[in-house]
């Protein structure tokens, strides 16, 4: 079973305007709204690909009923625990005349170790040995040092395999735990490696260095680095691959990394090789870019894009 985990979820709304003019009154058309956050987006993508999952989140007291109905509607089992305050709200503005996308992001409500402990207990009632726990998105503000690593440690102690997609201090804590799968973007990889990759080959080299550091700990097995228009690289201690899937028309890139993770997880769960899984992953990321709503995937479109994806093995 796959369990997605979102510690800092959001209520997202995407609107379109003809032209974005700061300081003026603009007529906007809402094109998407709903529950979001990286783990929620991942769950949405997994369900679209036919993969069952649970969707766990820290949600505000007043927003919990909405999250419960939204998650159940998309087909994921909700696992919700009250966070430290109201769920944050995010706004995305798409400018039709230029294609520019503007994002307004709240930090979210502060949460403490007790909130994570309650969410861990709710998850541990469902996690079985061999399950995948995908912990995605930013950590809520106010978490004490070590709380995120402690949360990951509880999931691992229950026998879960860990996939982590986060940033900032939470990323550093996650790296110390050595999750089996780590999925940073280029900037986040630079935070860990203290060197910014200038090409897919350099990203693969830095990812391999992270794996070599963790080899003695016996945990990290795969690093997938997302590179925007350059696709992604997937690296283990035995092989490295680069894949990209160019898109001619981008509606919104929000959620592309989450969709990529969904494609990767679904393909690996089906037994695909690493190179083929990365092909499916970048196809899902590209398909998401053609939608207004984060994490939205059209399986038929994914199939077409997967056939167009460029995949090559890297020599390190």
Residues serving a catalytic function are 258
Question: Which phi and psi (to 5°) does residue 261 adopt?
Answer: -60, -40
DSSP state of 259: H
User: Helical H runs in the chain?
Assistant: 38-48, 64-74, 113-124, 147-157, 168-177, 186-193, 200-214, 256-269, 274-289, 299-308
**Region of 32 on the Ramachandran plot (φ > 0 left; ψ -120 to 50 alpha; else beta):** beta
CA 235 to chain centre: 18
- State the Rg of the chain over Cα: 19
Q: How many residues does the chain have?
A: 316
Cα dihedral value 196, 202, 206, 209, nearest 10: -150
| Helical H segments across 10-146, by residue range | 38-48, 64-74, 113-124
Q: Which of 125, 142, 180 is nearest to 7 (CA)?
A: 142
| Both tokens assigned to 32 | 């998407």
* Residue 130 exposure: Cα atoms within 13 Å on the Cβ side: 2
Q: Of 1, 3, 76, nearest to 34 (Cα)?
A: 76
Helix 147-157 with 113-124: angle, nearest 10 deg:
10
Q: Are strands 232-235 and 240-244 parallel, antiparallel or unpaired?
A: antiparallel
């Amino acid at each position: 079973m796959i369990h997605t985990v979102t510690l800092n979820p959001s209520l997202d709304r995407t609107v379109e305007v003809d032209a974005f003019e700061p300081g003026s009154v603009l007529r906007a058309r809402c094109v998407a709204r709903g529950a979001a956050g990286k783990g929620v987006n991942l769950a949405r993508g997994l369900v679209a690909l036919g993969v069952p999952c649970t969707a766990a989140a820290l949600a505000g007291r007043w927003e919990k009923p909405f999250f419960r109905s939204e998650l159940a509607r998309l087909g994921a089992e909700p696992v919700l625990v009250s966070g430290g305050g109201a769920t944050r709200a995010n706004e995305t503005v798409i400018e039709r005349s230029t294609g520019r996308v503007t994002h307004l992001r709240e930090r979210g409500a502060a949460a403490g170790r007790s909130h994570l402990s309650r969410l861990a207990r709710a998850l541990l009632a469902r996690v079985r040995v061999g399950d995948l726990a995908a912990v995605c998105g930013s950590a809520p503000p106010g978490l004490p040092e070590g709380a995120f690593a402690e949360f990951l440690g509880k999931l691992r102690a229950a026998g879960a395999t860990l996939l982590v997609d986060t940033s900032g201090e939470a990323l550093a804590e996650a790296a110390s735990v050595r999750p089996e799968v780590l999925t940073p973007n280029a900037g986040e990889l630079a935070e860990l490696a203290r060197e910014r990759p200038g090409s897919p080959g350099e990203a693969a080299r830095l990812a391999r260095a992270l794996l070599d550091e963790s080899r003695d700990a016996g945990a990290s097995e795969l690093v997938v680095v997302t590179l925007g228009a350059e696709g992604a690289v997937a690296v283990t201690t035995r092989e490295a691959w680069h894949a990209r899937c160019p898109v001619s028309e981008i509606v919104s890139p929000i959620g592309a990394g989450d969709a990529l993770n969904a494609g990767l997880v679904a393909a690996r769960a089906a037994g695909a090789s690493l190179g083929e899984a990365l092909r499916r992953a970048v196809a899902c990321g590209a398909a998401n870019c053609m939608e207004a709503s984060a994490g939205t995937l059209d399986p038929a479109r994914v199939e077409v894009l997967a056939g167009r994806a460029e995949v090559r093995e890297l020599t390190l």
